[in-house]
Amino acid sequence: MGILIVLVLPLLVLTLELKSPSFEHGGIIPVTYTCDGKNISPPLLWNGVPQSAKSLVLIMHDPDAPARDFTHWIVYSIPPTVGGLPRAFPKKAVTSHGIKQGLNDFGFIGYAGPCPPPWDSFHRYRFELYALDYEPNLPAGATKKEVERAIRGHILAKATLEGKYKRTKPFKFAKLIKPIVSSY
């Protein structure tokens, strides 16, 4: 008669996690990262990327916008070895690391901070990070709809960081977009 020994090892299950050192999940996004401040992107950190991931995608949007869900930032072709994006990520179509950015609903490439109508209450801003099983073949300047279509059926994991913001003063468009220079 033999003895059966069963060795049970704990499984290490990584969960994709997204956070910012600038605000907590569900917390208020600091003015610096909004149209009332410097309108620069907050630093973002993540961990728990699945080993089989080939690329990452980040989408920031406002589900509380008056007319429809409003896209503020689209970043894709992020290598899975990257552990975050720095504060004031460059507003370039393609960065030196090959990371691409899409067209936001303000009509330009790069980050556009929270900017709800001054008469509205708090809006929620969702930063959604997706780990993918492939590298989408998208050009820089893709729209949210194009990115969502490309990642459908390829998502290995998803993490969400949500912040909120309410405007307290009137908006000045010059802080959000570059002024148009007339040739007259």
| CA–CA separation, 95 and 75 (whole Å) | 10
8 Å CB contact between 130 and 42: no
Q: How does pLDDT run across 6-52, given as a tens digit for each residue?
A: 444 444 446 999 999 999 999 999 999 999 999 999 999 999 999 99
Helices (H) and strands (E) in the chain, counts: 1, 8
Give the model's confidence band at 96: pLDDT under 50 very low, under 70 low, under 90 confident, else very high: confident
Nearest of 104, 126, 121 to residue 167 by alpha carbon: 121
Q: What is the CATH number of domain 17-169?
A: 3.90.280.10
Residue reference for tokens 């969960």: 15
Give pTM, 2 decimals: 0.85
Q: Where are the domains of the chain?
A: 17-169
Residue type at 118 in one-letter notation = P
